[in-house]
Amino acid sequence: MLTNYNEILKDQGVVLLKNVVDSDLMKKVRKKYDELDKTITRTEIEKEKPIIVLWEHVEGETKRLTNFEEYPELWELIVNSIIPKLRKNLTKRTKRLQLMETIIFNKPAEISNTLNWHQDVAYFPVKPNSQIAVWIPFEIATYERGAMNYAIGSNKLGIRASTNLHTREKFENDDREMIPDDPKQNGLDVVCMEMTPDDMIVHDGYTWHYSGPNTVKDHTRKGLSVRFITEEAVFDPRAGQGAAFTQQIDIKPGEILKGAAFPLL
């Protein structure tokens, strides 16, 4: 059995780090989220600063946008808790961490839906497409509460098509192979990562994952996802690459992705 986190990430595509998130910082982040959730209505993407996307998994919901000036508690969590733990535990993939975007996925009780199987690299217009994402729940996340599920080892199977995450429809002109409906039928183990808010998952950008609905009454399930590219990359657009940050890119294909919106941390 592998015990080294670098090797687990390389071999399985995802690693769960237990009890690593600073709980006082997390409390502040959660409290501020509740305030922002009531007030943020902005939907346009600012070009010159890193974005934070507030995304509810409810049919018809529009993504809202905030930033780290409005949400400094989240910056503090990323810089003072997440990054040091990443660098301590995953020495091989963390030498260069360039922030691409931060998303808070909210699954309100009983009305949220499934975010279907996908891999993050399919949505990123960058080359090389070397990335890792951190995911941390704001509250306990179990299978019934919409925890993350991973197809173990799928990170080694190459790039797949990007699809509409709610319907699984392929984007127009994307000719890449789809992720199968049920990776278990392709012989992959699927693991549900049940977590508490002091745990953190790190997944490779190629790893297939999905989250189901939150079916537990009166329980919300928010999940923080912070996405980094780990090598210097150039802009390499193609069909279906709809990550929110792509609207911040103002350079020509082949030029290096850099600037205030995508800081090196």
Ligand X SMILES: O=C(O)CCC(=O)C(=O)O
Question: Least CB distance from residue 91 to ligand X, whole Å?
Answer: 23
Question: Least CB distance from residue 141 to ligand X, whole Å?
Answer: 9
CB 65 within 8 A of CB 45: yes
Of 133, 157, 179, 188, the one binding ligand X by CB under 6 A: 133
Question: Least CB distance from residue 254 to ligand X, whole Å?
Answer: 27
**Mask: binding to ligand X, 142-181, rule CB under 6 A, as x and -?**
----x-----------------------------------
Count of other CB atoms within 10 angstroms of residue 194: 16
By CB under 6 A, tell whether 228 contacts ligand X: no
Nearer to ligand X, 121 or 261 (CB): 121
Nearer to ligand X, 4 or 166 (CB): 166
Geometric angle at alpha carbon 89, from 23 and 77, rounded to 5°: 30
- For the chain, give the number of residues: 265
End-to-end CA distance of the chain: 32
**Mask: binding to ligand X, 234-263, rule CB under 6 A, as x and -?**
------------------------------
Identity of residue 39: T
CB burial of residue 255 (10 Å; 0-12, 13-18, 19+) = exposed
By CB under 6 A, tell whether 115 contacts ligand X: yes
By CB under 6 A, tell whether 105 contacts ligand X: yes
Taking alpha carbons only, the member of 113, 104, 135 closest to residue 228 is 135
